[in-house]
């Protein structure tokens, strides 16, 4: 709830403007939105429980697809499959020292009572949680990288700030908010050391040299990805990029990182790009990469052979909707519901509201 309210405050400018926009005081808005969120969570849980056993077999998916009207078969935009090798340019030690000095200053100010941790997080943290004052919400130990968890779960005094913690995302300081069983809620400030132009140039030259050796046949892109790439998500997967939205290796152009999309748009299958700088969104840092276009699938109407997973998802969604509809219409029969005057002439999604 706090995250949602902080989002409104950040976008509208102040608590007063939020109250003016929604035409009600903040405590009343909080209670109203809390009811909406609570109902939404309960609804999602009930629907998930009702449909947990809906799984489409190949035969069921085929029958579903064969019965689809021609104009209901989805059109699949052009998709690509790609491999990537990326390296992290060396960060100068002076930049790391400067980041640590800033974090030590923040810690001292909080420990001396000169500043609130949450205020400093809003002002200076480079993590997406900054607008929530650095608060991450309740999490289990496994939800964080080990270096962060080891410190966060050993904090005991909410008034104190942790030592500086180094992770793959940068450098953090952490403050305990509350412990609850096996979960902990903390806030943190993240600072990420910045790469200099010289280091980016050096990494670009290195990867361009690597590309020339791959093109010359000294070794394959797969081998180079395994031994050179520093992207842990693809390093041990031959550099193959995975689409986290659907779990496949196929991407529509808008789903690719923008820098990669601009490269592969002009490439043919088998081409390897020259080295380029791209933003690692997860770690909020610049990296240097080369990309290989593996496959380009032209736009087409979906087929079972090429798009089975998509059609399977369509079938399962269709079956889940049928399960939910049957459940709701049965509940309507034995649940008292009062329809206010004037609403009884509406068209209802489910049958049985009006007797």
Q: What is the pLDDT of residues 161-185, one digit of tens each?
A: 999 999 988 999 999 999 988 889 9
pLDDT-derived band at 50 (thresholds 50, 70, 90) equals: very high
Contact 174, 133 (CB under 8 A): no
Hey, what are 255's tokens? 């789903």
Strand order in the sheet with 251-252: 251-252, 79-87, 285-297, 276-280
Helices 26-50, 15-22: axis angle to 10 degrees equals 70
Q: What is the CA radius of gyration of the chain?
A: 26
Give yes or no for residue 10 having a pLDDT over 80: no
Residue given tokens 């989805």 in the structure block: 74
Distances (CA, A) of 306 to 79, 130, 250, 272, 302: 11, 43, 11, 25, 7
% of residues, the chain, pLDDT over 90: 61
CA distance 289 to 280: 10
Distances (CA, A) of 100 to 117, 124, 146, 162: 16, 13, 20, 13
pTM greater than 0.85 (yes/no): no
Instruction: For 98-123, give one letter per residue: b (16+ CB within 10 A) or e.
Output: ebbeebeebbebbeeeeeebbebbbe
CA distance 87 to 340: 63
Contact 352, 332 (CB under 8 A): yes
Q: CATH second-level architecture of 93-191?
A: Roll (3.10)
Domain extents in the chain: 1-45, 76-91+195-301, 93-191
Q: CATH second-level architecture of 76-91+195-301?
A: Roll (3.10)
pLDDT-derived band at 352 (thresholds 50, 70, 90) equals: confident
Hey, what are 251's tokens? 């991407």
Q: Indicate if 93-191 has the same CATH topology as 76-91+195-301.
A: yes
Q: Give 209-226 pLDDT, tens digit per residue.
A: 999 999 999 999 999 999
Q: Give 195-213 pLDDT, tens digit per residue.
A: 888 889 999 999 999 999 9
Position 117 scores a pLDDT of: 94
Position 245 scores a pLDDT of: 81
C-alpha angle with apex 284: 221 to 175, nearest 5 degrees?
A: 135
pLDDT-derived band at 46 (thresholds 50, 70, 90) equals: very high
Give yes or no for residue 124 having a pLDDT over 90: yes
Q: Give 262-275 pLDDT, tens digit per residue.
A: 999 999 999 999 99
Q: Which residues pair with 173 in a beta bridge?
A: 189
């Amino acid at each position: 709830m706090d995250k949602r309210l902080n989002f409104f405050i950040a976008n509208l400018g102040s608590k007063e403007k939020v109250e003016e926009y929604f035409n009600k005081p903040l405590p009343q808005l909080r209670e109203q939105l809390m009811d909406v969120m609570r109902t939404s969570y309960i609804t999602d849980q009930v629907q998930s429980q009702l449909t947990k056993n809906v799984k489409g077999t190949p035969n069921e998916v085929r029958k579903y697809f064969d019965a689809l009207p021609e104009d209901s078969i989805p059109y699949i935009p052009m998709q690509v499959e790609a491999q990537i090798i990326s390296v992290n340019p060396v960060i100068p030690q002076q930049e790391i020292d400067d980041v640590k000095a800033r974090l030590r200053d923040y810690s001292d100010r909080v420990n001396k009572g000169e500043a609130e941790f949450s205020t400093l997080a809003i002002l200076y943290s480079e993590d997406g949680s900054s607008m929530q004052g650095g608060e991450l919400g309740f999490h289990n130990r496994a939800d964080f990288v080990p270096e962060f968890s080891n410190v966060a779960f050993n904090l005991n005094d909410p008034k104190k700030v942790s030592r500086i913690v180094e992770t793959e995302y940068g450098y953090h300081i952490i403050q305990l908010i509350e412990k609850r069983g096996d979960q902990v809620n903390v806030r943190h400030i993240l600072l990420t050391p910045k790469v200099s132009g010289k280091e980016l140039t050096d990494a670009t030259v290195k990867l361009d040299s690597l590309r020339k050796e791959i093109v010359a046949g000294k070794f394959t892109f797969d081998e180079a990805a395994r031994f050179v790439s520093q992207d842990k998500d693809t390093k041990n997967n031959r550099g193959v990029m995975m689409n986290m939205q659907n779990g496949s290796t196929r991407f529509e152009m808008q789903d690719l990182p923008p820098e990669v999309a601009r490269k592969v748009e002009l490439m043919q299958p088998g081409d390897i790009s020259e080295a380029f700088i791209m933003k690692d969104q997860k770690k909020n840092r610049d990296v240097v990469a080369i990309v290989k276009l593996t496959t380009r699938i032209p736009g087409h109407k979906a087929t079972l052979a090429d798009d089975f997973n998509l059609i399977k998802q369509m079938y399962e969604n269709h079956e889940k909707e049928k399960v939910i509809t049957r459940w709701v219409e049965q509940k309507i029969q034995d649940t008292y519901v009062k329809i206010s005057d004037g609403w009884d002439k509406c068209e209802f999604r489910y049958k049985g509201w009006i007797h």
